[in-house]
Amino acid sequence: MRLDFALLVFSFAFFRYNKPEMAKQTFFITTPIYYVNDAPHLGHAYTTIAADALARFWRARGADVFFLTGTDEHGAKVARSAHERSVEPQVFVDQVAGQYERAWATLGITYDRFIRTTEPEHITYVQAQFLRLKKDNYLYEGDYGGLYCVGCEEYKNEAELVDGKCAIHQTAVEKVQERIWFFKLSVFQKQIISAIEKDELKILPLKRKNEALQFIKAGLKDIPFTRTKVNWGIPLPWDKSQTVYVWVDALFNYLSAHEAGWPADVQLLGKDILRFHAVIWPALLLALGKALPKKLFVHGYFTVDGKKMSKTTGNTVDPAALSKKWGNDALRYFLLREFPLGSDGDFSEEKLAQRYNADLANGLGNLLSRVVAIAKQTNLPTKPTIKVSCAGADQAIEQLNFSGALDELWQLVTVANQAIEKEKLWELKTTDGERKTHLKQALRSLCNQLNTIATSLAPLMPTTSAQIIEQLKTGKAAPLFPRR
């Protein structure tokens, strides 16, 4: 008994004094890497801004965040764009990758690494993995005959075509007949189904998980992993006349950029590229004996007048121009608030303007300026007395439910504005002792509310959040969102 007790005391002391330093929580988040066939548009900015919001959220929680994005620079589609402009592919990809980097700088994107698939380190990495796949018998040579859409950089079957054309790009598909290397995708069918069903590879929203499962259960065939007539690609190490299929080249970026941090906690992607990420990607990782990503979060399309925003449709919107006109935070607010991340939504500048005036200028901006103005008039402090964030909003952000988080925060904005109006706070005479006490209390509660809103808002609207906190600290007003 006594010995037990002594041991207990000892072990307690041991753990107390020798407790290893708690390792900092890491958080690895990725976006797809974007094709450099043309300048970035709002659809690309959408994914990147959502990833940025999540990265900022985890950083604020003290996690060691690695936020990866970049550009997908090889393949027929990019080569064709360079050719159309009579520029060498390398010169062309340098230009467009630069446009992406500048756009993300303008939008205040806080990535940790911008990978380009033309980087020598990435090329060497992919070649080494191909040698491994070959050595482990996951690749075999064979004849492939089929259809290919350069716009999608994807093999198609007849059933997917509309009037013989790619349903997405409405362009003719190419007939491909070549001797290439196949990847044994079919052998991973059961393993992938099990990983997805058990949520070891979690796919969100549920609708996308089911879509992926349905597709995989219909049967996986071995797929071409190399191409013979695409020079602008990574040469196969054992046969320089072939290049790596651009999608495989691209998927490898998630490893080549930050293998030490793998597996990713969240991989964000649009619904257009679900199959690559839910089928080929896990199979590739299983073949190489690597962990599966923890979560794929699949978001919807941004449409313009109901059509997917894309270069081919000619309805692209420039995110940098929008940011210049409306400000980064207003743009972030609109993109993250207008509809849930998993759904589709239509973009129009009119809707952005409406939200700007109603929610930002008349809503949050008005609340802050009234509170600071009343405090100034009555000589009362604006400094918050309690510092808490909004738990509901934080939880929503953690689940990538940005629109839900903003809904929640704007309910607070509305209630606070209503309270000011109902009590006509600006009319309260401070000479009257009782009223002054009431005003003091009301103002304190409003400042605390604003501080709560600003704290939870930080990952979604970083500049606005900082401005609110600063104005509450100093009591000096500056309009947040001038009316347009």
Q: Which residues are catalytic?
A: 41, 44, 149, 152, 166, 169, 308, 311
Residue among 182, 187, 174, 172 at smallest CA distance from 144: 182
Nearer to ligand MSP, 76 or 372 (CB): 76
Which alpha helices (DSSP H) does 21-173 contain, by range? Answer: 42-60, 76-84, 89-106, 120-135
Among positions 27, 28, 35, 58, the unique one binding ligand MSP when judged by CB under 6 A = 35
* Dist. CA 243–CA 258, nearest whole Å: 23
**Count of residues touching ligand MSP (by CB under 6 A):** 19
Residue among 70, 60, 64, 169 at smallest CA distance from 111: 70
What is the closest distance, in whole angstroms, from the C-beta atom of residue 263 to ligand MSP in the complex?
15
| Residue 202, beta-bridge partner list | 295
| Residue 304, beta-bridge partner list | 307, 347
Pairing state of beta strands 34-35 and 64-72?
parallel
**130 lines the binding site for ligand MSP (CB under 6 A):** no
**309 lines the binding site for ligand MSP (CB under 6 A):** yes
Contact set for ligand MSP, span 190-249 (CB under 6 A): none
| Residue 307, beta-bridge partner list | 304
What is the closest distance, in whole angstroms, from the C-beta atom of residue 298 to ligand MSP in the complex?
9
What is the closest distance, in whole angstroms, from the C-beta atom of residue 68 to ligand MSP in the complex?
11
* Dist. CA 108–CA 331, nearest whole Å: 12
Residue among 47, 98, 46 at smallest CA distance from 68: 47
Among positions 27, 28, 32, 326, the unique one binding ligand MSP when judged by CB under 6 A = 32
What is the closest distance, in whole angstroms, from the C-beta atom of residue 261 to ligand MSP in the complex?
16
What is the closest distance, in whole angstroms, from the C-beta atom of residue 252 to ligand MSP in the complex?
8
Nearer to ligand MSP, 270 or 327 (CB): 270
Among positions 134, 308, 311, 438, the unique one binding ligand MSP when judged by CB under 6 A = 308
In Å, what is the CA distance from 439 to each residue of 282, 381, 477?
60, 11, 19
Which alpha helices (DSSP H) does 118-205 contain, by range? Answer: 120-135, 189-197
Contact set for ligand MSP, span 243-262 (CB under 6 A): 250-251
Task: Report the Cα 220 to chain-centroid distance in Å.
Answer: 28
**293 lines the binding site for ligand MSP (CB under 6 A):** no
Are the beta carbons of 185 and 221 closer than 8 angstroms?
Answer: yes
Q: Which stretch binds ligand MSP (CB under 6 A): 38-46, 93-101, 235-243, 440-448?
A: 38-46
Nearer to ligand MSP, 301 or 430 (CB): 301
* Dist. CA 209–CA 409, nearest whole Å: 30
Nearer to ligand MSP, 96 or 469 (CB): 96
- In the shown chain, the binding pattern of residues 266 to 285 toward ligand MSP, with x for contact by CB under 6 A and - for none, equals ---xx-xx------------
**43 lines the binding site for ligand MSP (CB under 6 A):** yes
Half-sphere exposure of 185 (CA within 13 A, CB side): 19
> Given the rule CB under 6 A, which residues bind ligand MSP?
32-35, 43-44, 46-47, 72, 250-251, 269-270, 272-273, 301-302, 308-309
